[in-house]
Chains A and B, each alone.
Chain A
């Protein structure tokens, strides 16, 4: 008799739990609904429109949606377009590397301080966010421009009045300045999580300071390196404000090039195709982020 009851209980319970679980999940989905709706209306649908436009044809009066073709995508191979793409990718990569080199020692230093100092440093990292990004970027224009502090410095040391404004260096400086916190925060989070005893064990096992960094600290903080790199690379690749303010006309980057297609050239299909490609690059980067780094963040 007892065994029969147990058998029934076994057979019924999981089913009951399942339906309970389903109910709970459905209720959870309800909480997320407003945000989902917002994203669908203002992101998914517009993005769908962009994708559709990228296969359309430009006409003298606007955009012809009737004949689908790949012409806009073929134009991505043009010399001029390729230059813009490569330049953007190169500057984004450079920005990422500079951020990484600057942020790693800083994050390590921060992670090894007392809790009080750490929190204070975190606040300092966040402070730039309190001022408008546009204002801060214009400040760089003053610093790097003619007769600015930079040129005064170069003439003071006898190098003549230098001007960095409207060069690629200025763009990278501006991008690093803007995105450094995005590198520091994930790096800090992941270095802070490395057990300091592992570093001591490595030193105890005859590793030098650098050997310990290479074999223990770096591999264990890799999630932070990947996350930070993606968080810097992705927005740098599509950056619009910084390059247009500090880069001038000669260093056209992807962001401003897309704007030009839509607003000046009125070539909606080509602008859409560029946007779509940029989107794909960012999406792949984000996927890598979630698979490699996102797990631990």
Chain B
């Protein structure tokens, strides 16, 4: 784990059990102040439960949960310096935009005039000026999203928690809001902890990502680290697209693939470990090899194959290449300088040192 001094949120050995189900399993996590932090995973992986524990909507069964150094494990949500943007927003339907936005301040005992003033500023900040008197059901999804943001941010939380905040928006609006959220976070400088099941969203927005599955924390790192050096097969599979070539580790430099060919692939796994070579489609270099049967790559980083199928995807081309025992997907940019290959072509697939990663289950 990275060394973070004075983390905004710190989880140590946190476990959450619902009856017999372990939703979150002994998690250690530190989120830095001012960081845009994504929690990513399939539904039911425990990411939302983790967020709800930080919010105080669930209490950990075991472990320690600190916010800026203070243990908050069983404090109710109204006693924590965090606010949440809920999935589907959870705006109060019987209150107008202004009353929604000033609710938190009023509940903290801020007097009516000042609360309204600050709520107006927050509404202005999310560019909803003039909508103060509207009821939530008179707003579009994107506008409701902004009200939810204003309602949380008006309290100047030390950490803002967001539970799939963009899930209900259509693609275009979602991209717009991604950008705005990022801007807002930079401006305010507070930590945003963001739960999502959308890997692309997590990659484009976050400073760091935590990947979860079955209640366990699989990997924490920058988008770059997670994409380039996935900790295991699940992470490699969940983030982006990849080809898995099953094999066995021979030594620290070599993996023997299913067909017996040895390829150069450095790893830290002990000899004999069953692993998979993860090859990203866009990292594979594909070229026409004619009738040349020789091993294609330099230093053993290559495979021979035949193109089965080509899919035209506008800005890119996807090739399905049959190698001895399986099919591999390769993607190339659709540029004039890149030759287009036809089905049936004998090809050599090679990759650079950084193009492949060795992952165990």
Verify B78–A203 contact, CB threshold 8 A.
yes
Point out which of A201, A211, A219 has the most chain B C-beta atoms below 10 A from its C-beta. A201
* Chain A positions within 8 Å of B343 at CB level: none
Q: Given A200-B77, A211-B107, A219-B94, does the pair A205, B86 have CB atoms closer than 8 Å? A: no
Task: Let me know if B217 is at the binding interface, CB within 8 A.
Answer: no
Mark each residue of chain A from 193 to 211: 1 if its CB lies under 8 Å from any CB of chain B, else 0: 0010110111111111001
* Chain B positions within 8 Å of A195 at CB level: 90
Verify B90–A205 contact, CB threshold 8 A.
no
Task: Let me know if A282 is at the binding interface, CB within 8 A.
Answer: no
Q: Given A198-B90, A201-B90, does the pair A207, B78 have CB atoms closer than 8 Å? A: yes
Task: Let me know if B151 is at the binding interface, CB within 8 A.
Answer: yes
Q: How far is the CA of A24 from the CA of B10 in the complex (A)?
A: 66
* Chain B positions within 8 Å of A219 at CB level: 94
Q: Within residues 172 to 226 of chain A, which ones have a CB less than 8 A from any CB in chain B?
A: 195, 197-198, 200-208, 211, 215-216, 219-220
Within the complex, the shortest CB–CB distance from B72 to chain A, in Å, comes to 13
Number of interface residues of B (CB under 8 A): 24
* Chain B positions within 8 Å of A198 at CB level: 90, 92-93
Q: How far is the CA of A208 from the CA of B79 in the complex (A)?
A: 9
Verify B103–A203 contact, CB threshold 8 A.
no
* Chain A positions within 8 Å of B108 at CB level: 206
Q: Given A198-B92, A200-B90, does the pair A205, B103 have CB atoms closer than 8 Å? A: yes
Q: How far is the CA of A208 from the CA of B76 in the complex (A)?
A: 9
Verify B57–A205 contact, CB threshold 8 A.
no
Verify B107–A206 contact, CB threshold 8 A.
yes
Closest A residue to B102 by beta carbon equals A205
Task: Let me know if B7 is at the binding interface, CB within 8 A.
Answer: no
Q: Given A195-B90, A198-B90, A216-B92, does the pair A204, B84 have CB atoms closer than 8 Å? A: yes
Within the complex, the shortest CB–CB distance from B105 to chain A, in Å, comes to 8
Residue of B57, B93, B107 touching A200 (CB-CB under 8 A): B57
Q: How far is the CA of A173 from the CA of B133 in the complex (A)?
A: 46
Mark each residue of chain B from 184 to 223: 1 if its CB lies under 8 Å from any CB of chain A, else 0: 0000000000000000000000000000000000000000
Verify A204–B78 contact, CB threshold 8 A.
yes
Within the complex, the shortest CB–CB distance from A40 to chain B, in Å, comes to 40
Q: How far is the CA of A285 from the CA of B21 in the complex (A)?
A: 50
Q: How far is the CA of A216 from the CA of B92 in the complex (A)?
A: 7
Verify B94–A220 contact, CB threshold 8 A.
yes
Task: Let me know if B40 is at the binding interface, CB within 8 A.
Answer: no
Point out which of B56, B84, B90 has the most chain A C-beta atoms below 10 A from its C-beta. B90
CB-defined A-B contacts under 8 Å, sample of 28: A197-B86, A197-B87, A197-B90, A200-B84, A200-B86, A200-B90, A201-B84, A201-B90, A201-B92, A202-B92, A202-B107, A203-B57, A203-B76, A203-B77, A203-B78, A204-B56, A204-B83, A204-B84, A204-B86, A205-B78, A205-B103, A206-B104, A206-B107, A206-B108, A207-B78, A208-B78, A219-B94, A220-B94
> Which 7 pairs show the lowest CB-CB distances between chains A and B?
A205-B104, A206-B107, A197-B90, A201-B90, A203-B77, A207-B107, A206-B78
